[in-house]
Structure 1
Amino acid sequence: MTLNRYIFRRLIEIGISFFIILTGLFLLFHLAPGDPVARMVDPGMTAEDEMRLIAQLGLDQPLGHRYLKFVVNLFRGNLGISFHYGQPVSRIIADRLPNTILLFTTAVILSAIAGVWLGKIIAWRKGRSVDTAVTIGALVCHTLFLPWIALLLIWLLGYQLGWFPITGMISAEVWIDPQATLLTKLMDVLHHMVLPLLTLFLIHFGSYLLIMRSSMLDTLAEDYIYTARAKGLPERMIRDHHAAPNAALPVVTSVGLSLAFSINGGALTEKVFSWPGIGRELVFAVSNNDYPLALGCFLLIAVVVLLANLVVDVLYAFLDPRIRY
């Protein structure tokens, strides 16, 4: 099977999977207990006004009719109107998505680079004290409870030492100051990013390091590594140019899926740090029965995860010549 045929077949599978996910999510939200209108009703609203609101939201129509209408609108690029914000869901997602991508993509890439680099080094020094110490540290990072480490960093670096802002993404006084330059505003965003970025780095770093170390140890036992040593190649060249690239393949999978799942914004992280991203909106939408917004967020996550799996599989073929589709 050629690569193009493989991609075409996977795209068909992705389309079927997306349709199943779409149907399941729609039924899950619309059959779940809770009344979104009850959260929106003004105390002074009459029964007639309430019925009019229900009709405007389309909640008075049969479930099947609502489903077909949603599917048709979806393929037109219309995700509906948020019950709470009264704005198109696509606009809300477009406003929040860059914030999530900025924070979580940066965290995943930095932790992957650090994890791969340190993982290959300690695997090369297996059994030494540095290997034991770093591996234990990685295990601790990997098993950290995210809200706990986030609150600890807020208390220590934000509250006690006052080095970094505790919540939010920007400082209002900086962004409304007409004298503030673009560089000043960018530095303000970076200043707010430090605590959530450090939290995510610690959580992901341990996982990537352990994966790289395990894969590197398996690779070092391959015949071509012994052949390279028999040829008299320098040890650093064997480690960096022969063993590490192949050992990094499992990390590529992990990084690809981490980037995909990071689109949901890591709801806990965004909630703790009040970071205005997709994750926080997703939690809010589910908690307040805002069906259109919740559906839009979940469908975005589904599409990105499905496509990320395809990209990782195709990338494997370029990274490892032994893989054929």
Structure 2
Amino acid sequence: MELRRYVFKRLFQIIIIFFVILTVLFLLFRLAPGDPVSRMIDPDMTAEDARHLMEQLGLDQPLGVQYLYYIKNFFTGNFGFSFHYGQPVIRIIADRLPNTVLLFTTSIVLAAFAGVFLGKIASWHKGRSLDTTMTLGALVTHTLFLPWLALILIWVFAYKLGWFPINGMISEEIWLDPNAGLWLKTLDVAHHMVLPLGTLFLIHFGSYLLIMRSSMLETLKEDYILTARAKGLTEKTIRNRHAAPNAALPVVTSVGLSLAFSINGGALTETVFTWPGIGRELVFSVSHNDYPLAQASFLLIAMVVLLSNLVVDVLYAYLDPRIRY
């Protein structure tokens, strides 16, 4: 009952926060310098054509009227048309979102499993050469500058060795071939995915290993670990069944938030690898004053982040019986 009350309370807070974000985004894009019309059409267009286009887009209305239409359209699921693409924003997001989810969810899940597993081993061998090597390796990968790492991987494995494609998500010759089956297309996407996936894996893996190692070291000091040893349980059983599940709780929080923020596609990663996802479209829409597309992208990110925080809090209560709300 207490958990249910907590969830309803958090949902009420999320609605208020989201409404604030909704308003701030509207003002942010409307008050920003720049004219979206001049970016959409040939710069040689006449003033009359530009004014007519502004009327069609509703940008000639007072700010208050635009805001009312903005709120109404949001609650009716109408995010408008992209100024640049001339397509419904919802269609553009629906096309790009699966690409982002595929790349970032896969990389974060793989990094989390590897980080938890190796962090557990590193803590169990505290002070030894294995622990030192793992910790230093995690610190190096965690502090690497993502674009630099991505460019190095591209230069070595794509340009010099030619093992992987330099950019993009698919090979047009394969996807346009009517004889190419689903398996061949899947392998093609996986082939393009190796370098961006490897970049994201290395960046996230280090943080998960360090978090798990630190949490595991604290957990091993708990009384129930001493009790487990007094009962004669093996070290492997104590580590895997008693210490690791509780030590992994901070990693759950980190993974939940990473998955939430990854919905923006990691603008740097998608830009460097020309990966057709939400992050790349977000950068493009902001730089070209494409208000509808940029607003919808930011709102999607905000919604996922807020709900992910709630899911992580609720998940904590199920993973650790000592936590009560």
2:95 alignment counterpart? 95
State the shift of 1:46 in Å.
Answer: 2.6
Aligned to 1:2: 2
TM-score calculated relative to the size of structure 2: 0.99
What TM-score do the two structures reach when normalised by structure 1?
0.99
Identity %: 75
The secondary structure found in structure 1 opposite 2:178 is coil
Please show how residues 172-321 of structure 1 align to structure 2 within 5 Å: 172-321=172-321
Inter-partner Cα distance in structure 2 for 1:46 and 1:141: 53
| Aligned residue number for residue 159 of structure 1 | 159
**Matches for 1:107-146 after TM superposition, within 5 Å:** 107-146=107-146
> 1:27, 1:242 → 2: CA distance?
51
Shifted more, 233-242 versus 39-48: the winner is 39-48
Superposed CA deviations along residues 135-160 of structure 1, whole A, max 9, x for unmatched, are 00000010000000000000000000
Deviation per CA, 1:208-252, whole angstroms, max 9, x where unpaired? 000000000000000000000010000000000000000000000
Paired letter, 1:269 = T
Offset of residue 50 of structure 1: 1.3
In structure 2, the partner of 1:17 is 17
Give the counterpart letter for 2:8 in structure 1.
Answer: F
Structure 1 unmatched runs, 5+: none
Q: 2:47 and 2:2 mapped to 1: Cα distance?
A: 63
Report runs of 4+ in structure 1 exceeding 3 Å deviation. Answer: none
Q: Partners of 1:45 and 1:249 in 2: how far apart?
A: 58
In the alignment, the residues of structure 1 paired with residue 324 and residue 260 of structure 2 have an alpha-carbon distance, to the nearest angstrom, of: 24
Q: Distance in 2 between matches of 1:272 and 1:91?
A: 24
Q: CA deviation at 1:81?
A: 1.1
Q: CA deviation at 1:44?
A: 4.9
The Cα of 1:45 is off from its aligned counterpart by 2.8
Counterpart of 1:56 in structure 2 is 56
Q: 1:135 & 1:64 partners in 2: Cα distance?
A: 55
Letter aligned with residue 86 of structure 2:
G
Residue by residue, what CA displacement relative to the aligned partner does 1:192-215 show, whole Å, maximum 9, x if unpaired?
Answer: 000000000000000000000000
Amino acid at match of 1:197: L
- For 1:37 and 1:43, locate their aligned partners in 2 and report how far apart those are by CA, in whole Å: 9
Cα distance in 2 for partners of 1:123, 1:285 equals: 45
Per-residue deviation, 1:43: 4.4
Offset at residue 178 of structure 1 (A): 1.1
Q: Which amino acid aligns with 1:101?
A: V
2:43 and 2:154 map into 1 onto residues whose CA distance is 39
Gaps of 5+ in 2: none
Aligned length: 325
Q: How far off its partner does 1:3 sit?
A: 1.2
Q: Offset at 1:47?
A: 2.2
